[in-house]
Structure 1
Amino acid sequence: MARWLIVSDNHGDTDILPELTKRLRPDVTFHCGDSEMQLQDAWFQKPQTYAVRGNMDIDEAFPLVQTPTVDGCRVLLTHGHRDAVHWDLTKLKLHAEAVQAQAVFFGHTHELAVEELDGRLFLNPGSISQPRGEFRSLGGTCALVTVTPEAWHVQYYTRDCRPVTRLQFTFERPQKG
């Protein structure tokens, strides 16, 4: 069992990131872009931390996409702006198929979302600092995914690390074989 923190769109709010990792204690951290920070920042240098460049990031040292294999799972990490996630998930789904990702983490819209499509987990943690949409009143969100061989357990948290009880989901993982 592993705990993965997925965060996005902090837009220069540098204090929130260390607070999240300190209080939520993830094994692995994924940042979906628009940090407006430098890749050399100490927060990005921690082991098991993956980050990509968003449309507002200036530091070109951030990759646009990462596809690490973590805990035996291929992850597609992207900001989403190049996959037109504001319209629908069609391009992102095709991108995930092309890289054979089992989990897809993206940001850009500032609106949290999670669903399973064709055996893949698609998750947007929402913006931790500038939320939009239905859950804007929460003041910012991130997601903690507990990964087991059988399932993805997704729990959304507010920026003060409180779990949002109505935003807890479990998705079965397809079994290989």
Structure 2
Amino acid sequence: MKVGIMSDSHGLTSEVEKIKERHQAEVDVFIHCGDSELEKADSIMEGLLAVRGNCDYDADYPDYVVETIGDSRFLVTHGHLYNVKMTVMNLSYKAEEEQADIICFGHSHIAGSEMIDGRLYINPGSIRLPRNRKEKTYAILELHQKEATIQFYDDCGNLVKNLRNTYTFN
């Protein structure tokens, strides 16, 4: 099972479409963690499990989504309602409340992943305005039994090697 994760595209359309096309044969589900700045009904957003960010004005987007993908329970949110630029503590409370295994969020534009208390947190970064690195990034998560491998790519599809991680769930 593979999950494509992007966030903070801030009005980009051709870049989002290219990412979807580039990985459509390998990815089972695409997630957008908010701040697309596009209407939910926009054809670019079709097929994306998407949430509302602080720069999204379409009320048709939910603030968060809890979805079972494969054998894992995902919590997808933008992160601004949980103050993720300061800490993931508030988000961790929501993850616990929703019994989520994997938490996907954006807002900070900082790409990364980490396992905290048996839960995997993934921020795919931004494909428009990255912070703390020059690459505009998105991520692909591969789930296989109790193992999760997360790989990050730049907007041209090149692997960002120093962000790759593999995690094991208990």
TM-score over 0.5 for the pair: yes
Shift of 1:22: 1.1
- Note if 1:12 corresponds to 2:8: no
Query: Retained in 1: the 8 A contact 2:6–2:139?
Result: yes
* 1:89-124 deviation digits (Å, cap 9, x = unpaired): 100011100000000000000111210011110010
Residue matched to 2:46: 45
Residue matched to 1:165: 161
User: Identity over the aligned pairs, expressed in percent?
Assistant: 36
Tell me the secondary structure at the aligned position of residue 40 of structure 1: coil
Residue matched to 1:130: 129
Question: Structure 2 matches for 1:88-107, cutoff 5 A?
Answer: 88-107=87-106
Q: Which amino acid aligns with 1:151?
A: E
Q: Which amino acid aligns with 2:113?
A: V
- Note if 1:36 corresponds to 2:32: no
If the length of structure 2 is used for normalisation, what is the TM-score?
Answer: 0.96
Query: Retained in 2: the 8 A contact 1:7–1:30?
Result: yes
Shift of 1:43: 3.0
Structure 1: stretches of 5+ with no match in the other structure: none
Shift of 1:45: 2.5
Number of equivalenced pairs:
168
Distance of 2:131 and 2:164 partners within structure 1: 19
Alignment RMSD (CA, Å): 0.9
* 1:71-98 deviation digits (Å, cap 9, x = unpaired): 1211000000000101111000111000
Residue matched to 1:145: 141
Distance of 2:94 and 2:83 partners within structure 1: 11
Structure 2: stretches of 5+ with no match in the other structure: none
Shift of 1:21: 1.3
Shift of 1:44: 2.5
Distance of 1:117 and 1:59 partners within structure 2: 32
If the length of structure 1 is used for normalisation, what is the TM-score?
Answer: 0.92
- Structure 1 residue ranges (4+ consecutive) displaced by more than 6 angstroms after TM superposition: none
